Structure 1
Amino acid sequence: MVNLSLIGCRKCRSLPPLQQLPKLRELYIEGMHEVQHLGDGLPFPSLEMLKFEDMPAWKEWSFSISIGVEESRSQFPCLRELSLRGCPNLITVSPLRLPSLQKLYLEECEEVVLKSIVGVTSLTSLEVVDIRGLSQLEEALVQSLVALESLVFEKCNQLMALWQNGGEVAQKNNLVRLQRLRVASCPQLVSFGEELHDEGLPCINLQELYIRDCENFVCFPKAGVPHMLRLCHHLKH
């Protein structure tokens, strides 16, 4: 079996023994309202797409690491796409080492889920929607986003800046491939960088910039916007 979907099993408290499916490539789990813990029996050596949706009771996603096993070992070495939607109580997550991840989508989750994602140097698309506790991207995550092309923030009510210091990010060539930046309905956002008068956007190849319904946004970088920018929207309602 290479594809598996489990949808609307509201009374199930655990998953079947999926570790018996080493060739599984796509796994979609939705509406398992009684599941609280996941992790035993993983990793999946062939999994490429993993999606969770509407998991209100899910609290813990953990992986046991045996003594002598390298910390850099990935639970999902081939995973290209990861999506979590409607997992508001997921507060305990073991570090997720995802060396092949290209697309990450998080909606209605705690910031701890985003913090658990490490070593995503292949990530090209990151979209975060309604992430509680997120005030800015952590420096360790930003440093790994060397391949990122699209970055989207929506409905992140505590977001105040996108990163700490745009100048430092630029010097380290982080976000150098970013082409699309979209920020919508983030009412506490003040500026791109944590420093109000950041020197400039670190995204030298940015082609599309979209800001909407961010009523406290007050400051563009001193150096303006990248010269390659084709579309720029700054809307307030």
Structure 2
Amino acid sequence: MGELKFLQTLPIFIIGQDRGCGIKELQDLNLRGSLIIRNLENVMSRADAQEANLKEKPNLHKLCFSWGSWGHYIDLKLAGNVEETFEGLRPHSNLKRLEVKGYVGVRFPHWMTSLNLVEISLINCRRCEQLPQLGQLPLLKVLVIQGMHAVKSIGNLFYGDNVAEGFPSLEKLRLEDMPNLEEWSGFNGREVLPCLNRLFVVRCPKLTTLPCLQSLKKLKLKDSNEMLLGSVANLTSLSYLNIEDFKELRSLSGGLFPNHTRLLTLNIWGCAKLESLSRELGNLAALESLSVVYCDELVSLPEELQNLTSLQKLRIQDCKGLTSLRLQGLSSLKHLTIQSCKSLTSLMGGLQHLTALQSLYIMECPELASLPEDMQHLMSLRQLRIWHCDKLTCLPEWLKHVTTLEELSIWGLKSLTALPEWIGNLSSLQYLNIIKCDKLGCLPSGLQLLTNLDRLIIRDCPQLEKRCEKEKGEDWHYIAHIPDIEIGYTKSESESARGGKGCGRLLGLKRR
């Protein structure tokens, strides 16, 4: 490799012990862009590492140093040499991004805190007990710390000697898989990380508090200590909050959202034992998006939800304990998804007031036998998807008044025996999808009135497919005017001639 004097692009170099596979091969190459150097355990000394001549490669902007299988199988007797080796890998000061994987030394090299790095990732450096003084890097914007099992605290040393200027540019920080991290403090109680706007804390089971982070906008907490949620109350600048995989969490207690006037998005995912949501949710006046997903023990939503007059998107999914749902007062709601709520038997009053609703998805709710009959005022509704609701025997009567509807998708309605004649009232309908409705025996003649209907899919409906056979079926004359038709798994000749433009719509109907 070293003989390729004009080589400039080398994405990855794997160091071996055979002739021609040593790190010295990089010495005279004028490389540019990014480079991954793997199997650095095969570099035996600082002098050998220096032969790579990385500090004389000004056009390398991203470097990844990797030891073994990310440090899992390296003989720890070599750890002393590893530290010296790493010192010898000093890159040029032009380097912008550095990734370190599987480093088994105890200390990081001194040069790491003297470069103009913009992004650093430290991954599975399992023996390092202290983080390097990265707060001294004036241009650092992104920092990922993952799998550093020996680190117990983050404090003054992390911020650097001049804490008043520590991390002056850091915008994104990720702490992941830190099983022994117990403490993360500021500097004498003062605000730190002045520009930090995104923080992700994942699998940190012993960490119980966060420092004061007044500029933080986006926070994701996942599979960590339940006590960590108490810090959310002080982070009033948040616009995005994700609470995920707190498997023992039973309630989002009071005091969590005392004054979060800027919070726009709240996601609560994978809290299997969560029984109740805080009534303080009603205080989130600016909230625009709320998702509650995989919360098996959740029985109901708080009545205070009706105070969320700015809410535009609501998603309730895989909440197996939810038996009924009452939604009212949500005058700004545009998108509502109710999915995989296996015990849900009724949608109670209030839905008729969702006058801004544009899309309604009700999917995989096998115990839901009917939809409310007071929803005729949904005059903004554009999309309606009803999938796998086994007990639903008919489409709701109110739907005939929703002349704004553009897409109607019914999928897996095992008890549905007929479509109503009033379907012809849906004058704006463009897409109609009927899939896996075994008991549907025929189509209504009202389909002939839908002059805007551009796309029809009928699939896995044996009786309908036979009756809609092109030019032969008894119902063909109801649908012959539709430009794109798919019956079963074949397209009509008119669609084939146009290049199958309707395929993308069908793909969009797949479960997300």
1:144 aligns with 2:248: no
Deviations 1:27-62 (A, max 9, x none): 111111222222233353432111111222222223
Equivalence map 1:112-131=2 (5 Å):
112-131=227-246
Q: 1:26 aligns with which of 142, 156, 181?
A: 142
C-alpha separation in 2, matches of 1:39 and 1:199: 40
Which structure 2 residue ranges, 5 or more long, are not aligned?
1-115, 160-165, 343-512
Q: Is the 8 A contact 2:256 2:280 kept in 1?
A: no
User: Which structure features the higher share of strand residues?
Assistant: 1
Q: 2:213 aligns with which of 98, 112, 119?
A: 98
Q: 1:47 maps to which residue?
A: 170
Q: 2:226 maps to which residue?
A: 111
Kindly, what percent of the aligned residue pairs are identical? 37
Whose Rg is larger?
Answer: 2
Q: 1:163 aligns with which of 275, 278, 281?
A: 278
C-alpha separation in 1, matches of 2:263 and 2:215: 13
SS in 2 for 1:6: strand
SS in 2 for 1:144: coil
1:17 aligns with 2:140: no
SS in 1 for 2:258: helix
C-alpha separation in 2, matches of 1:55 and 1:109: 10
Q: 2:179 maps to which residue?
A: 56
| Superposed CA RMSD | 2.4
Taking a change above 3 Å as real, the CA distance of residues 55 and 40 of structure 1, as seen in their structure-2 partners, is: same
Q: Is the 8 A contact 1:205 1:229 kept in 2?
A: yes
Taking a change above 3 Å as real, the CA distance of residues 216 and 17 of structure 1, as seen in their structure-2 partners, is: same
Residue identity opposite 1:185 in structure 2: Y
C-alpha separation in 2, matches of 1:123 and 1:154: 18
C-alpha separation in 2, matches of 1:45 and 1:141: 29
C-alpha separation in 1, matches of 2:310 and 2:316: 18
User: Which structure features the higher share of helix residues?
Assistant: 2
Taking a change above 3 Å as real, the CA distance of residues 60 and 119 of structure 1, as seen in their structure-2 partners, is: closer
SS in 2 for 1:27: strand
Q: 1:76 maps to which residue?
A: 193
1:206 aligns with 2:311: yes
Which structure 1 residue ranges, 5 or more long, are not aligned?
66-70
SS in 1 for 2:227: helix
Deviations 1:187-225 (A, max 9, x none): 1212233xxxx254221111111111112224545x625
C-alpha separation in 2, matches of 1:118 and 1:153: 16
1:88 aligns with 2:205: yes
Q: 1:187 aligns with which of 266, 282, 296?
A: 296
1:176 aligns with 2:285: yes
Q: Is the 8 A contact 2:276 2:298 kept in 1?
A: yes
Q: Is the 8 A contact 2:294 2:317 kept in 1?
A: yes
Taking a change above 3 Å as real, the CA distance of residues 115 and 211 of structure 1, as seen in their structure-2 partners, is: same
Q: Is the 8 A contact 2:279 2:304 kept in 1?
A: no
- Compare 46-55 and 147-156 and name the one that shifted more: 46-55
Deviation, 1:110, is 1.1
C-alpha separation in 2, matches of 1:45 and 1:116: 23
Moved over 6 A (4+): none
Q: 2:105 maps to which residue?
A: none
C-alpha separation in 1, matches of 2:222 and 2:202: 5
1:3 aligns with 2:119: yes
C-alpha separation in 2, matches of 1:77 and 1:219: 45
